[in-house]
Amino acid sequence: MNKIKYIGLLVLAIFMCACKSENYAQKRKAEQKKFSEYQENRNLEFSTDSAYCFSLPTPWPENLYFETHRGTYIRLISRNGEKRTAENGNTIILRYRAFNLDGEDYGSNTSNREGFVYVYSPDGYTPSIAFIDAASCIRHEDKFEMLVDSKVGTREQTEDVVTIRIFIDETTITN
């Protein structure tokens, strides 16, 4: 009889633990709600008009972001003239600081001498859709900020289901 009670309590405990954990859809819904609140609280404006956005002087207003066709939000902080743009096969090196929407550190590589390195492919998705989308908009030596939803973020960000702010402090485009 004690065995049956023990097994019953064990099954009940497992069931209760399973019910308390959020599934992906619930986490995604919470992420979207948090992003909507963040957008509303900061009066953020998103534009899909690249001709308008990239003709503005830098820095862009703190509440204006260009929205790429796949949902990456970019705010240009500084642009150094008519520098080189990214082309297929170029190596891109970024030095960045990342934070969640609460301002908590989500990682950086500013202390790393090499920076974050990847090869640009306009149709690619590695290291993430957000970085590929940003590369099509930026130039050598640009400084910019990105708001990155988990659906277009890195693998770790997708697993965490979190939107992050990334400040790109240094951009190098080679080849």
The tally of domains found in the chain comes to 1
Flag whether 164 is in a domain.
yes
Q: Domain with 31 in it: what CATH number?
A: 3.10.50.40
Q: In three state form, how does the secondary structure of 9-54 look?
A: HHHHHHHHHHHHCCCHHHHHHHHHHHHHHHHHHCCCEEECCHHHHC
Flag whether 4 is in a domain.
no
What is the pTM for the complete model shown? 0.83
Flag whether 13 is in a domain.
no
Positive or negative torsion for Cα 68, 84, 172, 44: negative
Flag whether 7 is in a domain.
no
Positive or negative torsion for Cα 130, 91, 115, 59: negative
Flag whether 168 is in a domain.
yes
Q: What is the pLDDT of residue 40?
A: 97
**Residue-wise pLDDT tens digits, 61-100:** 999 999 999 999 999 999 977 788 899 999 999 999 999 9
Q: Domain range for residue 89?
A: 23-174
